[in-house]
Structure 1
Amino acid sequence: MSGAPTREVARRVFADEFNDASYTFKESDDERAPVYVLLPTGERANRIFVVGTLTETEDVGEDSEYWQGRVVDPNGDTFFMYAGQYQPDAASMLRELEPPAYVSVVGKPRTYETDDGEVNVSLRPESISQVDEATRDRWVVETAERTTERIQRYEGDETNEYAEMAREEYDLPVENYRRTVVGALESLEEEQRDESEATV
């Protein structure tokens, strides 16, 4: 095996769980060690994979371009992402895309504390691609499956150190995210039903 660091698996997560993931940690003291965000369902994430509707883009930079994008998942919850000079490909995608558009985003979670002590979570995109509706639908189904698996491990695996950490760090019922899964799948079914009725 080579000593090159392997890329972390990009976790699929719905926006409301991602936005609740305010606790970050490293697994070693090495300054190059990856920073993980702790998902409330008991999983660490160094990279996130999102597919949703890009609803808004805005250059919020003062001296140089710094693009903000909002991506909405089927529950209507928002992922915020920011790309500047260090993410030139992602920044140019945000500059060029015309919302609304389906996009897939792979990025790093970032947390920052606001003046009133709230912790906000955003994505620093590594890549942004425009995709079709079928890709978005597949992401919803797969994210629902992954979230359900995390919840089952959280509830059933006593040795799950990240679930233990999540219980300590978050005072959030994991039931919330089961409702998120159900809501996402129901909204998908509703969309598909509306579309099939529209084509009749």
Structure 2
Amino acid sequence: MTGQQQFKKALPMTYATAFELLQASHQFKLDASDEKSPKLTLLPSGEAAHRIFMKGVLQDVKQNDSGLTATFRDRSGKIFLRASQEYQPDAYLKLRGFKDLPAFVAVVGRINLFTPPPEEGKNPVPFVSINLDDIGHISKADRYAFDRDVLRLTRERVAAWGESLTDLQLKAREIYGSGCEAGIMQRVESLFQEAGVTI
């Protein structure tokens, strides 16, 4: 087993909402001394995410020069999915196979952050998308069950913030500002409640 395979096996998937992912702006390597080490994304709730698991609605799929780009929406917002025929061939074929849209889907992927060159007098805003590893059809009931799961898990991540903060929580506060975790939870709760999702 290669080192990359060992990392992939050891690192869990993170249940996340589109809204929280779109606030992310900081990535780092699990092992800074190993160039093959997986890249993690620090979320405002203090989670270091490697692979993301989401369920929601696939709205459209478009072909471009580098592969496919799709629009995915959950209860909290929309985010773009990307699949390259060269680098994600299996995900590319599955995504291309969706013809009857919109469709309820489950998505597994890795967060991609692209920060454009800075403009004079402006701070560059990272563009967040998901590099797709896998996608598949789900039922409407599966989607609703996941809504409750991801809301509960986001609450648990935020509730874990106490008087003594972990290194990741301290880094999240440094990157995203004081109260970042509460801000995420407040907005996610509001959006999910508007959609009729409660736990």
The interval holding the TM-score normalised by the smaller chain is 0.7 to 0.9
Which amino acid is 1:36 matched to?
L
- TM-score normalized by structure 2? 0.85
Q: For the structure 1 residues 94 and 27, does the alpha-carbon distance in structure 2 shift closer, same or farther, using more than 3 Å as the test? A: closer
Partner deviation per Cα, 1:88-144 (whole Å, 9 max, x = no partner) = 121122212132001101111111112452211111111100111111111111100
- 1:82 Cα deviation from its structure 2 partner: 0.4
Aligned residue for 2:121?
none
Aligned residue for 1:122?
129
Aligned residue for 2:61?
57
Give SS of 2:94's match.
Answer: helix
Aligned residue for 1:21?
24
The answer as to whether partners of 1:153 and 1:160 remain within 8 angstroms in 2 is no
The answer as to whether partners of 2:59 and 2:101 remain within 8 angstroms in 1 is yes
Aligned residue for 1:194?
none
Which amino acid is 1:162 matched to?
L
Which amino acid is 1:101 matched to?
A
Distance 1:159 1:174 in 2: 12
Superposed, 1:162-181 pairs within 5 Å as 162-171=168-177, 173-179=180-186, 180-181=188-189
- 1:8 Cα deviation from its structure 2 partner: 1.6
Which amino acid is 2:53 matched to?
F
Distance 1:181 1:129 in 2: 27
Query: For structure 2, which runs of at least 5 residues remain unmatched after alignment?
Result: 119-123
The answer as to whether partners of 2:147 and 2:197 remain within 8 angstroms in 1 is no
Distance 2:166 2:57 in 1: 33
The answer as to whether partners of 1:67 and 1:91 remain within 8 angstroms in 2 is yes
Query: For structure 1, which runs of at least 5 residues remain unmatched after alignment?
Result: 191-200
Quick check: 1:158 aligned with 2:160?
no
Superposed, 1:51-200 pairs within 5 Å as 51-61=55-65, 66-75=67-76, 77-85=77-85, 86-97=87-98, 98-116=100-118, 117-154=124-161, 156=162, 158-171=164-177, 173-179=180-186, 180-189=188-197
Q: Which runs of 4+ in 1 moved over 3 A?
A: none
Identity %: 28
Q: How many residues align?
A: 184
